[in-house]
Structure 1
């Protein structure tokens, strides 16, 4: 029952957060007009947008993995880029809504995070693809994290501290809300993955404080905890107790 309550709780949470972002977006458009104005693109707004879209890149890779075809993957990624956390919340709520009662009872986060095995999939081909992604993702998120760190340092040096009231324009506020709703999604994943609440809280505090720099460090760290021969999906789920790959394979057996 506790796990079913978790599924309902998370679905409710992301429904509420998505609704909050929709309301924020509508309010900001009415109050401050459209965001496509050059004067809004201050150095700190540009840095915040880079931070935002690096997190979106992490979420987009998960969506591309989850979707069964490239058309739906591309559609959802376009929505993530265009609508930000509204699309994130909609996608997560949709994934929780697809769970059966049995999946909600067994491990809702596991079934939401992982692509359900398809009996028509070429298992060897799928594993080869997943293996080839491990090194690619290590490099990608190392580059993205380094780029964000460089952006942060450059903006601090050239434009000073971000903690100034004049920077908190209506669109900056809306962008920060958008950014932190995506951080909530990533924090839920981190809390699920970590085997202790101490490490979970530690990483969530870093996510809140350093944004996508922490996202990239965390993903790269988890990627280095698996070998290049391991399937990349193992970084999505916790590895306490039963090996995640064995559990996934048992689900695959049920699907066939």
Structure 2
């Protein structure tokens, strides 16, 4: 399972870096037309996305022992979204052996 998750989060990271780079080359983030930025589904999607980021962050806050780490990962998650989340997961996944149990990944280490 750990190997599958390593591959999965590598794909998430690479695809997010590619699509974000592509979108940035098409137009700057601050150039989103008002008709898009004010659209109800755009707003609903942003709420959904950021609540998901904060839900993931609850686990990160549990795993991280220092306040500096917690604040850093909160900012990273809120600013970079799935890019930061994939990086965090890959760090966690490469800290455990390939034959580790899910508990070893999910629970805080003593």
- TM-score, normalisation: structure 1: 0.40
Q: 1:161 matched to which residue of 2?
A: 28
The alignment covers a number of residue pairs equal to 107
Q: 1:213 matched to which residue of 2?
A: 83
Q: Distance in 2 between matches of 1:165 and 1:237?
A: 43
Q: Distance in 2 between matches of 1:165 and 1:154?
A: 18
Answer yes or no: is 1:144 the counterpart of 2:12. yes
Q: CA deviation at 1:162?
A: 1.9
Q: 1:227 matched to which residue of 2?
A: 97
Q: CA deviation at 1:157?
A: 0.6
Q: CA deviation at 1:204?
A: 1.0
Q: Distance in 1 between matches of 2:21 and 2:42?
A: 19
Q: CA deviation at 1:213?
A: 0.9
Superposed, 1:173-188 pairs within 5 Å as 173-188=43-58
Superposed, 1:1-256 pairs within 5 Å as 133-158=1-26, 160-163=27-30, 164=32, 166=34, 167-168=36-37, 169-239=39-109, 241=110
Q: CA deviation at 1:165?
A: 5.2
Q: CA deviation at 1:232?
A: 2.8
Q: Distance in 1 between matches of 2:93 and 2:103?
A: 10
Q: Distance in 1 between matches of 2:17 and 2:103?
A: 27
- Choose between structure 1 and 2 for higher RCO, CA contacts under 8 A separated by at least 6 residues: 2
Q: CA deviation at 1:145?
A: 1.1
Structure 1 unaligned regions, length at least 5: 1-132, 242-256
Name the SS for the 1:224 alignment partner.
Answer: helix
Q: CA deviation at 1:231?
A: 1.1
Q: Which segment drifts farther, 163-172 or 190-199?
A: 163-172
Structure 2 unaligned regions, length at least 5: none
